[in-house]
Amino acid sequence: MYTLLKNLGTWLTSSAQWTGPDGIAHRLAEHLQYSLLATLIAAAIGLPLGLLIGHTGKGAFLAINLASFGRALPTVGLVVLVFLAGGLSMLPVYVALVALAVPAIVTNTYAGMTAVDPDVKDAARGQGMRGHQVLCQVELPLALPLIMTGLRLALIQVVATATIAAYVSFGGLGRYVFDGLAQRDLVQVLGGAVLVAAVAVVLDVALAGLQRFLFRHRTV
C-alpha cells in the first residue's frame, strides 16, 4: 500500500504528467468542458420545467415520473446507443450526461417551489402581484436553497459520470481510468479516480460558496 501511494504521489506531481495532449491539464480541461456544458444544458431544461410545474401545480405527476425514468436510465448503455446511432461525435456523451442531470434539477426545483408557504403566496397576490411577480419575487427566492442543492447534486453526478466519455474513445479524466484498466496500470487508474473526486469536491465547495454569497446578499 505504501509503495502504491508513493507511486501515485509521483504520478500526480510529475511535471511530465501535466503536459502534452495526454497530460492532466489537458484531460482536466476536457472533463470540465463536458461536465459544465452538460450541467448548463440540463439547467436550461430542468429549471424552467421545475419552476413551471411548481408554480402552476400542473403536470407534476408526469414531470416527476419522467425525471425518475431519466434517473433510472443506464448511462453507459445510453452513451453506447446514441454513439452507435450518431457516429463519432460528443453527442452521445452530452445526451447521457444531460439525461442524468435533469432529474435532480427538476425534482429539487419542484420541491423548493412546493415548500413555499401558500399563505405567503396568497399575501403576495393580495398585495396586487401578478403571477409572474409572485414567481420571481416570492416563490423563486424562497425556493432557491433547494434549487441550488439540485444544481449541486446534478453537477457532482455529471462530474463523476463524465468519465464515460473515455468509454467511447473521447477524452477527460476517465481516459486514465480506462487506459489504466486496459494496461493493468493500477497507479494510473487510481490517479484518474483521485482527480475526478478532487474536481467534484472543488466544484461542490465553489457552488456552496456561491449559495452562501447569494443568501447573504439577499438578506442584506
User: Model confidence at 31, in pLDDT bands (50, 70, 90)?
Assistant: very high
Place of cell 420545467: 49
pLDDT at 27: 93
Beta strand spans in 84-128 (E): none
> Has residue 2 been placed in a domain?
no
pLDDT band at residue 43 using 50, 70 and 90 as cut-offs: very high
| CATH label of the domain that carries residue 141 | 1.10.3720.10
Answer whether residue 122 is part of any domain.
yes
Q: 80, 96 in Cβ contact below 8 A?
A: no
Task: Identify the pLDDT of residue 202.
Answer: 93
Joined grid coordinates for residue 85: 446511432
pLDDT of 103 > 70? The answer is yes
Decide if 131 is inside a domain: yes
Tell me whether residue 209 is in a domain: no
Domain-embedded: residue 201: no
- Quick check: is 200 in a domain? no
Number of residues in the chain: 220
In tens, the pLDDT along 166-177 reads 777 678 898 898
Whole-structure pTM value: 0.84
Q: Report pLDDT digits (tens) over 123-152.
A: 877 777 877 777 778 888 888 888 999 999
In sequence order, what are the residues at sequence separation of 6 or more whose Cβ sits closer than 8 angstroms to the Cβ of residue 134?
55, 121, 124, 125
Query: Could you tell me if residue 157 is inside a domain?
Result: yes
Question: Domain range for residue 142?
Answer: 25-173
**Chain segment 160-208, per-residue pLDDT in tens:** 888 887 777 678 898 898 888 888 889 999 999 999 999 999 999 998 8
Q: Does residue 183 lie in a domain region?
A: no
Q: How far is CA 17 from CA 103, 152, 172, 179, 184, in A?
A: 37, 30, 14, 14, 18
**Cα(106)–Cα(45) distance, rounded to whole angstroms?**
8
Q: pLDDT at residue 220 above 50?
A: no
43: closest CA among 91, 93, 98? 98
pLDDT score at 178: 87
In total, how many domains does the chain have? Answer: 1
